[in-house]
Each structure stands twice: as structure tokens, then as C-alpha cells.
Amino acid sequence: MEGIELKISNPQKHFSQISVNNIKTEEEKKKLAQASKQFESLLTSLMLKSMTQTTEGLFGDNSYGGDSFESIFHLELANKISEGNGLGLANMIYKNLTGEDLPTEFRFSDLRIRPSRQINYSDQTNDIGAIRPSSESLNRLSRYENIIEEAAERYGLNKNLIKSVILAESAAREDAISSANAKGLMQIIDSTAEYLGIRNVWNPKENIFGGSKYLAELLERFNGDLRLALAGYNAGPANVEKYNGIPPFDETKSYVKRVIGYLNHFESNL
């Protein structure tokens, strides 16, 4: 791809003449969604390459193996940028060809985040008793069973962990909002929603997928330590790292115990 120059001042005009065609089946839409995300990632990589050409590359003009390392770096960074909303090109292509927005599961395209499949939660939670949620909250939670299962599969999480976080965060109320302006079922603040690529934080599927993605990232960040991941979800990962453990905040300590208590309830009823 040497010598490729990108001059894109208005990327939308390149897709404005594409009209809705006969892509109707779910299988066709799935293939189109995947192709759109791959195209966006490739284009992002080319843009990064073009941006670094004038500075002799990231590793210098005469570095040993620099070209290979730089290509890998561009592709990896492009993949990260294309997660969530990315540049918006994937959604633009998909919408022009189907008349619909790119499905949530393809907007959250980080399939590498699968840290907790091998985690044995019982080893980390056996010192905390089970907490039974209220019947009302369980009834509300049951409405989102299918979404929770999808999110658990995508991010490699125990579905009961997602349920437990939802109960601790919002008692399964999709319209919940906190004094800190955290919103929805998994109580996501605006800055985190933007980072996660959530367009409508009040949409249950987007909220659950986004919160699950964040939880999976925290489990990976803290090497599968459930308590630290939960503390990071509540108080922020920077505070966990600052205090080298669960921060000394009463709210956070209570939150971790409550989530684990709910988790033990669900696990004991399997």
C-alpha cells in the first residue's frame, strides 16, 4: 500500500449517492455489518499511515524492522478507534445500504475482551453471604434476560454477574438516574458512555452492552480480581490503583459486598 495518499475532506459525500438496495435477510445484514466495520478499520489504518509519513514514521526512517512494527501499530490502533462509534463510517455505509443503524452488537466490536470465562467466582466470594433481591426488582430484571445473555456471551461474562451489577446499580430500573448523573440500568455517566460508543444511554440494550463491556475491561485490567473490578466500576479504576486495592470509601466497600451478595444468591439457585 506504499504511496497511497488520502485526501478526504468530506467522507459523507462518497456514500451519499448509495441508496438502499435489496439487502433484507439477517444473514446479508450480518455480513454487511462485518464488512462495514472492517472497511472502517482499514480506512482508519490508511489515514494513520498517511499522517505519519511526513515524520519519517513512528520508528524513524532507518529503524530495523520499523516498517513492520509500524504497520502492526497502525492496524491495532485502527481497530481500537473503530470500536464503539469509531469514525462513524461503518454506520454510514450500513445505514445507506439497509436504511437502518448499525446493530448495537457490531458497534461494540471488541471481541478480544473475554477475560472471565476461566474465573472461578466462588473462590473470591465465599466469605460473603447471599443477598436475596426484592421480588419487584427481580420481576423488572426478567425483562432483560435475553439482552443479558447476549452481552454475557459477547464479553465472556457470567450472566449472573451482569444481573448482580444491574440490581446493585439501579434495582433494574431502566429510567434510573443518580445524583452524579449516572443513567440507566448499569448507571453509566456521560463520559463513560461516550468512551463505550453508547449513542442512547437510555436504551436497555445499549446500556447493558456498554456496562458489560466496561466490566469486562475492568476484569482484564485487574487480572480477573472480581472485587477490584467491581470497586473500579463504582469508584473508578484510577482510585483502585491509587489505593492499591478497594478504595477506603464506605459506598464502594458496601457496593462490592452487595454485588457479590446478589451474585451468591443467583449462583446458589442454579
pLDDT of residue 74: 47
Q: Is 132 found in the same domain as 248?
A: yes
Residue from 83, 169, 206, 217 carrying the catalytic annotation: 169
pLDDT for 27 equals: 74
* 207 and 81 in a common domain: no
Within-domain flag for 6: no
pLDDT at 72 over 60: no
Specify whether 26 is located in the same domain as 77: yes
Cα–Cα distance, 268 to 124 (Å, whole number): 15
Do 164 and 208 sit in the same domain of this protein? yes
Model confidence pLDDT, tens digit, residues 176-211: 999 989 999 999 999 888 888 888 999 999 999 999
Of 48, 76, 107, the position where a domain reaches its end is 107
- 15 and 50 both lie in a single domain: yes
The residue segments making up the domain with residue 155 are 122-268
| 151-177 tens-digit pLDDT | 998 888 999 999 999 999 999 999 999
Sign of CA dihedral 152, 158, 159, 163: negative
Decide: helix, strand or coil at residue 188. strand
Q: Is 169 a catalytic site residue? A: yes
- Report yes or no on whether pTM surpasses 0.75: no
More confident residue, 75 or 25: 25
Going by C-alpha positions, the residue among 209, 241, 200, 249 that lies closest to residue 223 is 241
Q: What total number of domains does the chain contain?
A: 2
Type of residue found at 230: L
3 state SS of 206: helix
* pLDDT(112) > 70: no
**Percent over 90 (pLDDT), the chain:** 44
Residue 132 within any structural domain of the chain: yes
Q: Which of 56, 78, 107 is the last residue of a domain?
A: 107
- What CATH number is given to the structural domain containing 239? 1.10.530.10
Shared domain check, 182 and 48: no
Name the residue type at position 204: P
With beta carbons less than 8 A apart as the criterion, state whether 209 and 154 touch.
yes
Per the prediction, the chain carries an average pLDDT of 78
